[in-house]
Amino acid sequence: MEEYLKLFVEETSWYNDIVLGATLPDKWWAPLPHFYKGWLRNYVGGTLLYLLSGLLWCLYIYYLKRNVYVPKDAIPSRKAMLLQIGVAMKAMPWYCALPTISEYMIEHGWTKCFSRISDVGLVAYLTYLIVYLVIVEFGIYWMHRELHDIKPLYKYLHATHHIYNKQNTLSPFAGLAFHPLDGILQAVPHVAALFLVPVHFRTHIALIFIEAIWTANIHDCIHAKLWPVMGAGYHTIHHTTYRHNYGHYTIWMDWMFGTLRDPVEDEAKKI
């Protein structure tokens, strides 16, 4: 067992070398204990991913494709986007604590994570992945919904994110503009699922970082019309009504629990 757990440590050390080795002088991070290297790597990697993905996304939809995807009067101001970046960057050090702690638990054998797909086989890997994603979807839906329904949680945590409540105040940078505890709570299902179903470690890490891309996507106000994906068209309605479309990747949880509101039907009613 001890030898097997070393595989996780070797993998996270490899991630540290890739990210920190490419961005910081060795003397800044090499002497740090393994746990703190992991946090620093998550912070550097998460910050770069957030800023680069948001910048490229905004450059494409607001400038290179101006008036194609978003009408000119719906483009958020630079001031609004800088405010969102400021909120996200204040929270980023705290966001990075959760994946760092989850890696610690995985490295110490507290979860059901496995290191190699060959340990369980491809069929089992895919089955576990589907179950993991269902648990995450269910958990994020209810966590998000309770952040609205429980008034103190909304007032002191989630309201920070919902000041962006119109199309011309939403942007890809709003994706991580949360109160730190709010952002952590909505990511907790990713970690809780590790104790419930076997998950491939590298896949888990990849899904955590895909979150940054996904949250940028669902705040760009562009309805992709890709059923059953909970895209930006649905999420924009969430920001304007506050009572619909709490889901994360898909519309299924909202459909099951009666909170779904379709953007196409909404548009048809306005005509």
- Give the model confidence (pLDDT) of 168-197 as tens digits: 888 999 999 999 999 999 999 999 999 999
Mean pLDDT of the region 122-138: 97
Q: What is the share, in percent, of the chain residues with pLDDT greater than 70?
A: 98
Mean pLDDT of the region 47-56: 94
Mean pLDDT of the region 119-126: 96
pLDDT of residue 4: 83
Mean pLDDT of the region 90-99: 95
Do residues 237 and 266 touch, judged by C-beta distance below 8 A?
yes
CA 135, 136, 142: angle at the middle one, nearest 5?
90
Amino acid identity at 49: L
The per-residue pLDDT of the chain, averaged, comes to 91
Question: Backbone dihedral region of 263: left (phi > 0), alpha (psi from -120 to 50 degrees) or beta?
Answer: alpha
The model's pLDDT over 30-39, given as tens digits with 9 standing for 90+, comes to 999 999 999 9
Amino acid identity at 203: T
Q: How far apart are CA 48 and CA 211, in angstroms?
A: 14
Amino acid identity at 233: G
Dihedral, CA atoms, 21, 23, 26, 30, nearest 10 degrees? -70
pLDDT of residue 267: 62
- ω before 228 within 30° of 0 (cis)? yes
pLDDT of residue 236: 87
pLDDT of residue 270: 57
pLDDT of residue 185: 95
Of 75-79, 218-222, 258-262, which gets the smallest average pLDDT? 218-222
Q: What are phi and psi of 229, to 5 degrees?
A: -70, 135
With 80 as the cut, is the pLDDT of residue 59 above it?
yes
Q: How far apart are CA 157 and CA 139, in angstroms?
A: 18
With 80 as the cut, is the pLDDT of residue 165 above it?
no
pLDDT of residue 266: 65
